[in-house]
Amino acid sequence: MGGAPFVAMGLTFAWLIASTMYTPQDDGMPRDPSFITADWIFFVVWLLFALCVIKFIWLKDFFRYTHYPIRFNRKNGTIYVFRHNGPGGVLTVPWDKAHFFIGRSSPAMGGQSIFTFDLHCNVLDEQRMVRDTFAVGMDGSSSRGAVLEHWEMVRRYMEEGPQSLPFPPLALTVSTETTLRNMVITQVSGQFSGFLSILMLPITLPWALFRYLAMKTCKRPIWPADIEAACAIDPNDPFILDEPRYAGDAKTGGAAGDEQFLAYRERALKMALEYDAERRNRLGPDGTAA
């Protein structure tokens, strides 16, 4: 998804240069050979740029999987991490052998001082060497506190059961269906709010289209039959949650449930920001230095 606009840009410039390279001048005279040579240089540069993006970025977006799910099975105390379809495509980790920590990524752009955080898990071997690692869910943006809240949700679910989760009520907001509607909601409404979301439409709408095209080339993950059997949900389980019809369509039980759901999210965000502020005051801007 991220590389598609750059591929389109590179190929467009290469095509424009190639289509006019040998076009005669207005007076009918052929172009100067030095200009044709310069056009060839620019053509090759733009073409190589597009090919590099395809190899190093685009192929990470296209022809992959629509999503990479993780199953937390609290009944048998096991984590299942999807890697690919077919044999050997699932990493199986006992809950009591998983080592969770908050990962921190370097600033994405030069001069940017904001780090992003996410929940990671290391899998250790007999010598306590890391033999595998995986991330859980989305990043918490610049909020370490939001990632801690995410971790506490996972911990409570696995060790105490869903009845201990504080959400009033429980609801899912993410849809894995690869529809254009979901892509637009994710890229437009999910990135900005209010007037800013309208202002950014020239960027977010094409981005949503590229995301949709990329997702349509991807396969859906298929769990092995033995894992499906191990994770089968009791039809009478009171905590069964249906996937939303589209992104953000949380099944909260009506207006009252929506109000409780949003109020909880606001409280959780406030607590996360308060934690972040306290940590910065205590340890410094990046949370690691006094």
- pLDDT tens-place values along the chain, 290 residues long: 556 667 777 778 777 777 777 676 666 677 677 777 887 888 888 888 878 877 777 677 788 999 999 999 999 999 999 999 999 999 999 999 999 999 988 655 444 557 889 999 999 998 999 999 999 987 667 889 999 999 999 999 999 999 998 887 788 888 999 999 999 998 887 777 778 888 888 888 888 988 898 899 999 999 999 999 999 999 999 898 888 989 888 888 888 888 898 899 899 999 999 999 998 888 876 655 44
Secondary structure class of 166 (helix, strand, coil)? coil
Q: Which of 46, 36, 37, 38 is nearest to 15 (CA)?
A: 46
Would you kindly state where each structural domain of the chain is located, as residue ranges? Answer: 4-60, 70-178+218-283
Cβ(275)–Cβ(269) below 8 Å: no
Token pair in block for residue 270:
């406030």
**Does the predicted TM-score (pTM) go above 0.75?**
yes
Question: Would you state the structure tokens that stand for residue 95, as one six-digit string?
Answer: 């809950």
Contact 71, 227 (CB under 8 A): yes
* C-alpha span between 5 and 57 (Å, rounded): 11
